Amino acid sequence: MSASVKTATDAATTGERRRPKRHKGIAGNSLSFWLFVGPFVVGLLVFSYLPIIWSLILSFFEAYNTATPSKFVGLQNYVDMLTDHNFLSSLGTFTIFAVFIVPLTFVLSLALALLVNQVKIARSFFRSVFFLPTACSYVVASLIWRLSIFNGVRFGLANTVLGWFGIDNIAWLSTVDPPWYWLPLVTVRLWLQLGFYMILFIAGLQRISPALYEAAYVDGANPGWQVFRYITLPQLRATSVAVLILNLIAAYQAFDEFYNLIGNVNYARPPLVYLYGISLGSIQDLGHGSAGALILAVIIMLVTLLQSRIFGFGKAGD
Partner 1 sequence: MPAHVPNAGLSRRDLLKRTGGLAALAAFTAACGGNTGRPSSGGGSGGSKPNLSQWYHQYGETGTQQAALKYAKAYPDANVAVQWTPGDYDAKLASGLLSSKGPDVFEGHFNISMVKSNQVVALDDIMADVKDDFQPGDLATNTLDGKIYGIRMIIDPQVIYYKKSLLDKAGIKPPETIDDLISAAKELTTNKVKGIYVGNDGGNVMGGPALYSSGGEFLTKDNKPGFTGDRAAQAFGKLHELYASKSILLGAPTDWWDPTAINQGLVAMQWIGMWAVPGMQKALGDDIGVIPFPKLDAQAKPAVYSGGWTQFVSAKSANVEAAKKYVKWLWIDKSEYQEDWSLNYGFHIPPRKSLAAKAAKLQSGVAADTVKLTQDYGYTDNPAWTPKMNTAFGDMLTNIIKKGADPAAEIAKTEKTVNSELSRLFG
What is the per-residue DSSP string for 253-309? T--HHHHHHT-S-TTS--HHHHHHHHHTSSS-BHHHHHHHHHHHHHHHHHHHHHHHH
Residues in binding contact with partner 1, number by CB under 8 A = 45
Q: Supply the minimum distance, in Å, between the C-beta of residue 245 and partner 1.
A: 30
Of 134, 235, 284, 308, the one binding partner 1 (CB under 8 A) is 284
Closest CA to 129 of 54, 212, 209, 198: 198
Q: Which stretch binds partner 1 (CB under 8 A): 192-200, 205-213, 245-253, 278-286?
A: 278-286
**3-class DSSP assignment, residue 191:** helix
Q: 174 to 203, contacts with partner 1 by CB under 8 A?
A: 174-177
Of 8, 152, 208, 311, the one binding partner 1 (CB under 8 A) is 152
In whole angstroms, what is the distance from residue 288 CA to residue 58 CA?
8
Of 9, 32, 48, 128, the one binding partner 1 (CB under 8 A) is 32
Q: Which is nearer to partner 1, 142 or 151 (CB)?
A: 151
Q: Is 79 in the site for partner 1 (CB under 8 A)?
A: no
Q: Supply the minimum distance, in Å, between the C-beta of residue 153 and partner 1.
A: 6
Closest CA to 227 of 104, 118, 112: 118
- 301 contacts: CB under 8 Å, gap ≥ 6: none
Binding track, positions 119-148, relative to partner 1; x by CB under 8 A:
---------------------------xx-
Of 38, 51, 103, 314, the one binding partner 1 (CB under 8 A) is 38
Binding track, positions 228-267, relative to partner 1; x by CB under 8 A:
-----------------------------------x-xxx
Q: Supply the minimum distance, in Å, between the C-beta of residue 170 and partner 1.
A: 8
Of 1, 35, 135, 211, the one binding partner 1 (CB under 8 A) is 35
**Residue 109: alpha-carbon gap to chain centroid:** 14
Q: Is 157 in the site for partner 1 (CB under 8 A)?
A: no
Residues 275, 280, 284, 285, Cα dihedral to 10° = 30
Q: Which is nearer to partner 1, 111 or 176 (CB)?
A: 176
In whole angstroms, what is the distance from residue 183 CA to residue 177 CA?
13
In whole angstroms, what is the distance from residue 272 CA to residue 115 CA?
35
Residue 22, burial from CB neighbour count under 10 angstroms (0-12, 13-18, 19+):
middle
Q: Which is nearer to partner 1, 125 or 155 (CB)?
A: 155
Q: Is 60 in the site for partner 1 (CB under 8 A)?
A: no
Please, are residues 110 and 202 in contact by the beta-carbon 8 Å criterion? no
Report the residue count for the chain: 318
Q: Supply the minimum distance, in Å, between the C-beta of residue 165 and partner 1.
A: 15
Site of interaction with partner 1 (CB under 8 A): 31-32, 34-36, 38-39, 42-43, 46, 64-67, 85-86, 146-147, 150-154, 156, 168, 170-177, 263, 265-267, 277-278, 280-285
